[in-house]
């Protein structure tokens, strides 16, 4: 049999050029191609949850407003505050559901290697800043409801509300903080300290003021305040696993916050207004400007001098 030398050369060359094994990654040595950015954002489950919570907040606002019409204007202070809470929350959830209340935060994750230069991963996490706007407006109103129920002094009420606003704003700063500096968790620590100030004024000072109004008001305030603080304590825990350490997906974060917001706003409001309606001791009747507006007495009217 005659062997063609050119054919032998082609086969040998082809076998030599083809890889003889599948390349594998060597531990400690990064791949040549940089990894693709990791986008952490809401998907179908999270988006549906935002619309559902929006609907619940909107319906609750209508129910609370309807309850307000059943009492005189002078006794609607709880109703007005509670209705505003759910209205603001519904606007916030509408903004998040439509995609206008969120932005992406760019995070560079550094990986240290022993024998080669450090490598970096780019992470883009979706942060719903509308949620923080919601909290900055609604949580002070929730504290105002509790303060009025307890009969808390103006000084303590103001301190609790200011500490609460600082807590929310520093939480927002922490969410956009850089991970390679102590900035992020420093803001988080300030938020926790501010929350402790809120607990001090609501749980301790508020309870003593409420007990002074009677046993019924004292017992009700203790129950609803303890319920509120337990729900609120879950928020920084969720934040730590979500925007903080990014151990929780954006979808899971949305669902968890949605449940907490319903408990902290809708259930709280229904409990407060329902119990208040059957507890005369909790009544707060406001007159003057709240009921009648500005007095017209003493105002100069055209024609008064001629009549005199």
Q: Is residue 120 part of a domain?
A: yes
Task: Report pLDDT for 279.
Answer: 81
Q: Is residue 16 part of a domain?
A: no
Closest among 127, 91, 109, 141 to 265, alpha carbons compared = 141
User: How many domains in the chain?
Assistant: 1
Closest among 281, 261, 277 to 67, alpha carbons compared = 277
Average pLDDT, integer, range 215-236: 94
Range(s) of the domain holding residue 101 = 32-282
CA distance 62 to 72: 18
Extract the tokens encoding 123. Answer: 């992470």
Q: Does the pLDDT of residue 58 top 90, yes or no?
A: yes
Average pLDDT, integer, range 208-234: 93
Q: Is residue 21 part of a domain?
A: no
Q: Is residue 3 part of a domain?
A: no
Q: Does the pLDDT of residue 111 top 90, yes or no?
A: no
Q: What are phi and psi of 11, to 5 degrees?
A: -65, -40
Task: Report pLDDT for 302.
Answer: 53
Q: Is residue 18 part of a domain?
A: no
**Which percentage of the chain shows pLDDT scores above 90?**
53
Task: Report pLDDT for 257.
Answer: 97
Considering the entire predicted model, what is its pTM? 0.80
Average pLDDT, integer, range 184-203: 93
CA distance 136 to 256: 19
* Unique residue bearing structure tokens 């609501």: 202
Most confident of 26-40, 170-184, 222-236, 289-303: 222-236
Q: Does the pLDDT of residue 138 top 80, yes or no?
A: yes
Q: Is residue 14 part of a domain?
A: no
Average pLDDT, integer, range 193-217: 91
C-alpha distances (whole Å) from 154 to each of 157, 159, 168, 205 are 5, 9, 21, 12
Q: Is residue 172 part of a domain?
A: yes
Task: Report pLDDT for 308.
Answer: 44
Average pLDDT, integer, range 296-306: 51
pLDDT digit string, tens, across residues 118-134:
666 787 889 999 999 99
Other Cβ atoms within 10 Å of 46 Cβ, number: 21
pLDDT digit string, tens, across residues 166-179:
999 999 999 998 87
The pLDDT mean for the chain works out to 83
Average pLDDT, integer, range 48-62: 97
Q: Is residue 148 part of a domain?
A: yes
- CATH code for position 95: 1.20.1070.10
Lowest mean pLDDT among 12-26, 159-173, 199-213: 12-26
Q: Does the pLDDT of residue 92 top 90, yes or no?
A: yes
């Amino acid at each position: 049999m005659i062997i063609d030398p050119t054919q032998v050369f082609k086969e040998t060359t082809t076998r030599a050029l083809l890889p003889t094994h599948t390349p594998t990654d060597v531990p400690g040595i990064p791949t040549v191609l940089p990894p693709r950015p990791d986008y952490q954002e809401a998907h179908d489950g999270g988006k549906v949850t935002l619309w559902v919570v929006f609907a619940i907040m909107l319906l609750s606002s209508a129910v609370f407003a309807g309850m307000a019409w059943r009492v005189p204007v002078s006794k609607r202070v709880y109703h007005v505050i509670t209705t505003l809470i759910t209205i603001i929350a519904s606007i916030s959830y509408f903004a998040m559901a439509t995609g206008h209340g969120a932005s992406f935060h760019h995070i560079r994750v550094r990986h240290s290697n022993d024998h080669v230069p450090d490598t970096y991963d780019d992470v883009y996490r979706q942060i719903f800043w509308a949620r923080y706007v919601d909290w900055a407006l609604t949580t002070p109103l929730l504290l105002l409801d509790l303060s009025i129920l307890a009969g808390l002094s103006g000084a303590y009420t103001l301190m609790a509300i200011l500490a609460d606003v600082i807590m929310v704003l520093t939480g927002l700063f922490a969410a956009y903080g850089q991970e390679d500096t102590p900035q992020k968790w420093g803001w988080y620590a300030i938020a926790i300290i501010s929350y402790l100030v809120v607990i001090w004024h609501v749980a301790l000072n508020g309870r003593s003021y409420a007990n002074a109004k009677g046993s019924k008001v004292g017992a009700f305030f203790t129950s609803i305040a303890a319920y509120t603080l337990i729900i609120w304590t879950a928020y920084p825990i969720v934040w730590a696993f979500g925007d903080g350490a990014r151990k929780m997906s954006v979808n899971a974060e949305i669902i968890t916050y949605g449940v907490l917001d319903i408990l902290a706003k809708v259930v709280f409001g229904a409990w407060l207004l329902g119990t208040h309606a059957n507890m005369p001791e909790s009544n707060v009747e406001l007159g003057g400007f709240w009921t009648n507006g500005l007095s017209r007495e003493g105002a100069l009217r055209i024609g008064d001098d001629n009549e005199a």
